[in-house]
Amino acid sequence: MARIELPEKGWVPSAVWEIYTGAENRVGYIPNTLKATSHSIRSMKAVDQFLQAFEEQGTLEPELRILASFAAAHRNENAYGMQSMRSTARRYFISESKLDAIEQDELDSLHLDDKERAVIRFARAMTDRADAGEEQLESVRQFLSEERVVELSFIVAGRNFLDRLQCTFDVDLEPELAAQRN
């Protein structure tokens, strides 16, 4: 159970209702992270805008976005983030074995290629120290353009931001995502 009330759509002021409706139209449900921040309309608007930017695909391959986000959520011990990324990975037909390799700290797994390993190591380093460091930056540059390195950094920083909110409020997985696990 969340450490903060997660107001449902029918019981919120109209400004919150509008943001809930927009999120519902975009992703098919109202993210619990958005509900948790709805107690402050200003914060919720910022989180909603952030979630929209976080959801956009950009030029970085979805698989790399998901693996980096999952690696950061794992490093932050955010069960919600990991479950959410597993659900997203299924939509993109990403092998569970890749996520399992991250979760079990088996980056030398045959399921991961060199580019994926570099991205995962970058995400871990950036999560652990904020600065991924020159070594990890050079490693991902072997595979990614500057544009994609910036997008990767945004994904990892974004995941870390979301992890802090989700862990602080102990946000539960949405029923819509939990149903996809079964």
pLDDT digits (tens, 9 = 90+) for 46-69: 999 999 888 777 899 999 999 999
Going by pLDDT thresholds of 50, 70 and 90, the confidence category of residue 181 is low
Q: Is 2 contained in some domain?
A: no
Structurally, how many domains does the chain consist of? 2
Q: Residue 58: what pLDDT?
A: 87
Q: 79 and 42, same structural domain?
A: no
Model confidence at 174: pLDDT above 70:
yes
Structure tokens at 59: 């030029």
Going by pLDDT thresholds of 50, 70 and 90, the confidence category of residue 157 is very high
Residue 36: domain span: 9-56
**d(C-alpha 47, C-alpha 36), whole Å:** 10
Q: Is 34 contained in some domain?
A: yes
Q: 162 and 125, same structural domain?
A: yes
Q: 81 and 42, same structural domain?
A: no
Q: Residue 137: what pLDDT?
A: 96
What count of Cα atoms within 13 Å lies in the side-chain half-sphere of residue 72? 30
Global confidence as pTM? 0.92
Q: 70 and 51, same structural domain?
A: no
Q: How close are the terminal C-alpha atoms of the chain, in Å?
A: 20
